């Protein structure tokens, strides 16, 4: 650390930096053992049909039950995992756990489509497709029940790796989705080449729907573009009835957000889904 260059105000600044660095360091060393100690958990957030209100599937979102710090969100530890080479192990755990959970649900008669989020690192792993195929086979889950979400910015980061991974996954029958769309400046011609099924509009546009005519124009254009390319459109981060109504009017196919449900543990999700089924008599078979 710099030596007493700037008197008192400087040392306050340094103390702050040190505690941040220490926090990162201790989390990083704990994260090394999180998988083997069974501290990771998948939460599931439903995707709701814009027209009929039935459940289209769920997105698996990883959480870390830290023994001292409590439940940590992926925004805290996924970037750390990426920086310290731990994302591979976490990503593999997510693949296995999501498939195991689908099998569990199937055993009680619920055929639920599950989406998982893939990192840039996973896209470049040469055995990604094989690993996913093995996990599906082990749990006897149909490949089309699994959907892989890749953010637009990750997809743009390494176009060759993305293309190869997408083609491999599509070949075995897994569905693909472009996440956080609208923030990554991808070209139309590139998007057209990817065998994706779904496009998820970034939450920032949904948030601004009612206050900004620009956001409305973007969402409207994205829905048309996606449909022209044969993709289904999902809006993420839907929090108000006003946003929902605007999205339905624009032809958005599915919605996800706190207005409908927060991400929840598997058992809670099942109760929630069964409660809704009793209400609406809708069925669970994925229809995409």
In the complex, the residues that contact ligand C2E under the rule CB under 6 A are 45, 61-62, 73-75, 78, 91, 94, 116-117, 119, 149, 179-180, 236-239, 256-258, 263
Name the residue among 59, 51, 50 with its Cα closest to residue 148: 59
CA angle 84, 165, 39 (to 5 degrees): 40
Residue 102 tokens, joined: 């689908």
Site for Mg ion in 172-211 (CB under 5 A): 179-180
Residue 133 makes contact with Mg ion by CB under 5 A: no
CA distance 112 to 285: 7
- 72 to 111: interface string for Mg ion, x by CB under 5 A: ----------------------------------------
Q: How far is the CB of 73 from ligand C2E (least distance, A)?
A: 4
Q: How far is the CB of 202 from Mg ion (least distance, A)?
A: 6
Q: How far is the CB of 15 from ligand C2E (least distance, A)?
A: 29
For strand 146-151 and strand 175-181, is the pairing parallel, antiparallel, or unpaired?
A: parallel
Closer to ligand C2E by CB, 116 or 174: give it.
116
Name the residue among 60, 151, 147, 130 with its Cα closest to residue 101: 60
Task: Give the contacts of 59 (CB within 8 A, at least 6 positions apart).
Answer: 44, 45, 47, 114, 115, 116, 117, 149, 256, 263
CA distance 195 to 190: 11
Closer to ligand C2E by CB, 62 or 128: give it.
62
Contact residue for Mg ion among 30, 97, 149, 253 (CB under 5 A): 149
Closer to Mg ion by CB, 133 or 236: give it.
236
Q: How far is the CB of 47 from ligand C2E (least distance, A)?
A: 10
Closer to ligand C2E by CB, 74 or 184: give it.
74
Q: Which does 95 bind (CB under 5 to 8 A by kind): ligand C2E, Mg ion, none?
A: none
Give the position of tokens 């060393």.
Answer: 29
The region, left, alpha or beta by phi > 0 then psi within -120 to 50, assigned to residue 140 is left
Q: Is the dihedral of CA 186, 188, 192, 193 positive or negative?
A: negative
Q: How far is the CB of 238 from ligand C2E (least distance, A)?
A: 6
Q: How far is the CB of 64 from ligand C2E (least distance, A)?
A: 10
Closer to ligand C2E by CB, 61 or 102: give it.
61
- Please report, as ranges, the residues that interact with Mg ion according to CB under 5 A: 117, 149, 179-180, 236
């Amino acid at each position: 650390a710099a030596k007493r260059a700037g008197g008192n105000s400087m040392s306050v600044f340094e103390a702050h930096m040190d505690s941040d660095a220490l926090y990162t360091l201790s989390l990083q060393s704990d994260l090394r053992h999180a998988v083997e100690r069974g501290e990771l958990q998948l939460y599931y957030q439903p995707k709701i049909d814009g027209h009929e209100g039935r459940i289209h599937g769920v997105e698996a979102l990883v959480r870390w039950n830290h023994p001292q710090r409590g439940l940590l969100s992926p925004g805290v530890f996924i970037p750390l995992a990426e920086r310290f080479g731990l994302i591979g192990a976490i990503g593999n755990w997510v693949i296995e756990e999501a498939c195991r959970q689908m099998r569990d649900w199937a055993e009680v008669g619920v055929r639920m489509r599950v989406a998982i989020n893939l990192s840039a690192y996973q896209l470049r792993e040469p055995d990604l497709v094989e690993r996913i195929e093995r996990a599906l086979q082990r749990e006897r889950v149909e490949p089309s029940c699994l959907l892989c979400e890749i953010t637009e910015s990750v997809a743009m980061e390494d176009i060759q790796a993305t293309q190869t991974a997408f083609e491999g996954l599509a070949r075995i029958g897994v569905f693909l989705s472009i996440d956080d769309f609208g923030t990554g400046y991808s070209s139309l011609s590139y998007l057209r080449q990817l065998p994706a099924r779904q496009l998820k509009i970034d939450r920032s546009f949904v948030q601004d729907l009612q206050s900004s005519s620009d956001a409305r124009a973007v969402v409207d254009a994205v829905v048309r573009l996606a449909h022209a390319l044969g993709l289904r459109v999902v809006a993420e981060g839907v929090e108000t009835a006003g946003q929902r109504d605007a999205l339905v009017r624009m032809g958005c196919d599915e919605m996800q957000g706190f207005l409908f449900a927060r991400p929840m543990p598997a058992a809670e999700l099942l109760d929630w889904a069964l409660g809704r089924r009793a209400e609406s008599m809708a069925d669970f078979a994925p229809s995409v």
